[in-house]
Amino acid sequence: MRQFFKYTLATICGIVILFVIMGIFFMISIAGMVASSSSTVKVKENSVLVLKMDGVVNERAEEENPLSELLGMADMDMIGLDDLVKAIKKAKDNENIKGIYLEGGATSYDSPATAQQVRDALEDFKTSGKWVIAYADEYLQGAYYVSTVADSVFMNKTGLLDFKGIGGKGYYLTGLYEKIGVRYQCTRVGKYKSAVERVTRKDMSENDREQRLAYMQAIWKHWTDGISKSRGVSVEQLNQLADDSIMAFARVEDYMANKLIDGVFYPEDIKKMIRTKLGIDEKDDINQVTLKEMLNTKDDKKEKGDKIAIYYAFGEIIDERSSAFSTEHSIIGKSTVKDLNELAKDDDVKAVVMRVNSPGGSAMASEQIWHAIKLLKEKKPVVVSMGGYAASGGYMISAPANYIIAEPTTVTGSIGIFGLVPNASELVTDKLGVTWDGVSTNKNTDYETNLIFAKENSEELRQMQNYVDRGYETFLDIVADGRGMTRDEVHEIAQGRVWIATDALPIKLVDQLGSMDDAVKKAVELAGISGDYYTSTYPDKKSWIDNLLESASEEKGTYLDTQLRETLGTLYEPIMQARKDAQRNRLQVRLPYLVNM
């Protein structure tokens, strides 16, 4: 027995020591990763910036989590537009970077405007006299549009190129709800405010068809004009190619014959070409710099002079923080208002550039943010830089700015409002046999129950429509005040109509077509700054330690979301939208859809 306890105690001690050693190595690994991720990188002479373009490009990158990276759980496919553009600019100014190699074409962009900004950054890079080469096994359409700015576009011998035009079919859930006995009741203002149609109709309305076709044709024209200029292929020929066959299924020889690509190679052939451009021997290693390394190179531009704040507001506008189940970034009303109030009090900040990329959302949160921006504008100039979307609530929070600059393919407008309430009387009463009865002290005590479960609720719907009407009038007043227009002038171009930025310019919804850099220059001008200035981004990204402490809940939500996407496939989006509808504020100023590229 003594021997038994002896060996048992030795085993327990061994396990404890093992865990201690593992813990020490774990902390050393974390410290090493943090140090390596923040250390300054020195670019070797004769280097090439390698951009692996196989992820999803969103408005802004979130702070990385060292724990996730250590466990191999980090989402390495997420690329921040801010980081991507910054890296390309730094590569342009770095004399040791001789060119950019775009590797991979399975990149997807959160909007056409995001793709446009990456393409513009690459085009600006080429003005330095440096080269850009693109190579991929396959090119998604948005990725191909970006890649055509390269000096040469290559692909694998068994690759494919997706070139089909912009559009797509949306889902309508009305038939499904009819089968289960649920009917959605809609109150809205604006004949183009079509967000409600997916649960109130079984097909697209003519008004919705009109606005969608108008802005999608404008985006496609902008893209084909750019591809035509870069590839030396007429716009007419490009449209003919998109119409004649499914280009994704064409032979690579057809891509070459129609000048969509310059050659068909394997990766080692591309390496030979890059070595030739760098003037090095076949046996020499290619000095490669990654996106992260480029971002960590020394920045010679010191923070001196006056500060211009760049505030990122992207995602759906919501009242409260969403659950960990959702991985999407959101604009949270209360948090955003607090941030803007702090910027107003900060005397070091001389002007604010609001980067808005939002389809809108909660009417209440949007109005609160609008009010905070209006107060901020009283203290210092505010310039809005519109990203992919600045529509509905996204436009409401943009309207009070001193000046609005939008990308040519920004989707904006959608000045309208709607309310949506499901009625389940047929399901609950007719099919399940549940009936309702009770007492109340006043006539409208049970209005919420009546809206959802009563067969006759015309009075409640009438009053809800009045509520929506007042919200629309408030929206018109906000735009009229911010844009220097009359109420009737705004109403003429409002009614929920979505506009592409090139069409929004002549009707005064935006002041200028341009980039974030243009917005910063305008902010400097309005602030009367004649000397040095620098930019600082807000809100601050979470530190790695904050993400480390929150990793358990966040990764759980991410994991569940990933598993649902894989299990549900194409049904994921409609099911998640139905879930979000149940959580959203009853009054919405939200864009009904996003562009399918």
Candidates 147, 322, 330, 392; catalytic one: 392
Kindly give the pairing relationship between strand 498-500 and strand 411-413: antiparallel
431 is catalytic: no
Cα–Cα dist 391/417, whole Å: 11
Quote the crossing angle between the two packed helices 81-93 and 112-126, to the nearest 10°.
10
Strands (E), 260-369: 263-264, 287-289, 306-314, 316-318, 330-332, 349-358, 360-362
271 is catalytic: no
Cα–Cα dist 63/34, whole Å: 12
Cα–Cα dist 320/335, whole Å: 9
- Tokens representing 98 are 């001789």
Q: What angle do CA 539, 544, 547 make, to 5 degrees?
A: 80
Count of CB atoms situated within 10 Å of the CB of 533: 19
Query: Phi, psi (5° rounding) for residue 35?
Result: -65, -45
Contact at 8 Å (CB) between 49 and 101?
yes
Contact at 8 Å (CB) between 160 and 249?
yes
Cα–Cα dist 499/404, whole Å: 15
User: DSSP secondary-structure letter at 540?
Assistant: P
Candidates 193, 307, 380, 522; catalytic one: 193
User: Residue ranges of the alpha helices (H) in 194-290?
Assistant: 197-200, 206-231, 235-244, 252-257, 267-278
Q: Which residues pair with 97 in a beta bridge?
A: 47
Contact at 8 Å (CB) between 392 and 165?
no
Q: What own/partner pairs with CB < 8 Å and gap ≥ 24 does 464-469 have?
A: 464/187, 464/419, 464/421, 465/187, 465/419, 467/187, 467/419, 467/587, 468/187, 468/188, 468/189, 468/417, 468/418, 468/419, 468/587, 469/189
Cα–Cα dist 357/434, whole Å: 45
Three-state SS annotation for 427-495: HHHHHCCCCCCCCCCCCCCCHHHHHHHCCCCHHHHHHHHHHHHHHHHHHHHHHHHHHCCCHHHHHHHCC
Residue type, 116: Q
Name the residues annotated as catalytic.
193, 392
